[in-house]
């Protein structure tokens, strides 16, 4: 069997708030309960399993490859919610999107400060 990523645990302060935010922003189905987790499933079978933690949450980076129409929808939701966004991971280009590899990409933060990225082309594809 080929090795595939199956799931990743996303530590957060409020798993319902965080999983709902991700699902709504990406237009994914609502999270499902699995043990202590709320899991959001992506189209390629990878799940993000949200787990509550009382202490500080160390921000992580999660990138999602999406289609052009999906990008329009996600970017529209970012603007509708008045979220800050950047064209780069170093926060040097606020209020912009990028066009890396001939596609489009944008970075924004979830309620716990995790850095979310949506791109329409994989890096190195152009």
CATH code (residue 92): 3.10.180.10
In a domain, 124, yes or no: no
Residue 106 lies in a domain: yes
Q: What's the domain count of the chain?
A: 1
Predicted local confidence at residue 1, as pLDDT: 86
> Given a cut of 80, is residue 126 above it in pLDDT?
no
Counting Cβ atoms within 10 Å, is residue 105 exposed (0-12), middle (13-18) or buried (19+)?
buried
Considering only CA atoms, which of 82, 86, 89 is closest in space to residue 97? 86
pLDDT value of position 99: 97
pLDDT of 4-60, one tens digit each? 999 999 999 999 999 999 999 999 999 999 999 999 999 999 999 999 999 999 999
pLDDT at 125 over 90: no
In angstroms, rounded to a whole number, what is the distance separating the alpha carbons of residues 72 and 27?
11
- Position 43 scores a pLDDT of 95
- Model pLDDT for residues 34-49, shown as the tens digit of each residue: 999 999 999 999 999 9
Q: Does 126 map to a domain?
A: no
Residue-level length of the chain: 126
CA 69 vs CA 27, 45, 54, 79, 103: distances in Å: 11, 21, 37, 16, 12
- The predicted model gives 60-78 an average pLDDT of 98
Other residues' Cβ atoms within 10 Å of the Cβ of residue 94:
11
Spatial separation of the C-alpha atoms in residues 32 and 103, rounded to whole Å: 32
- Contact indicator for 15, 114 with CB cutoff of 8 Å: no
Structural domain contains residue 1: no
Q: What is the pLDDT of residue 28?
A: 98
Which single residue is written with the structure tokens 């170093």? 90
What residue ranges in 17-104 does DSSP mark as E strands? Answer: 32-34, 37-41, 47-52, 61-65
> 86 is in which domain, residue-wise?
7-119
Tell me the per-residue pLDDT of 72-108, one tens digit each, with 9 for 90 and over. 999 999 999 999 999 999 999 999 999 999 999 999 9
């Amino acid at each position: 069997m080929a090795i595939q990523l199956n799931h990743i645990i996303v530590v957060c302060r409020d798993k319902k708030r965080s999983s709902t935010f991700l699902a709504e922003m990406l237009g994914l189905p609502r999270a499902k309960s699995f043990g202590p987790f709320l899991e959001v499933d992506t189209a390629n079978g990878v799940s993000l399993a949200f787990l509550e933690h009382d202490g500080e949450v160390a921000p992580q980076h999660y990138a999602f490859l999406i289609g052009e129409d999906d990008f329009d929808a996600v970017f529209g939701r970012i603007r509708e919610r008045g979220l800050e966004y950047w064209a780069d991971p170093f926060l040097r280009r606020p209020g912009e999107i990028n066009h890396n590899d001939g596609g489009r990409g944008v970075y924004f933060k979830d309620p716990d400060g995790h850095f979310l990225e949506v791109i329409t082309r994989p890096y190195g594809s152009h």
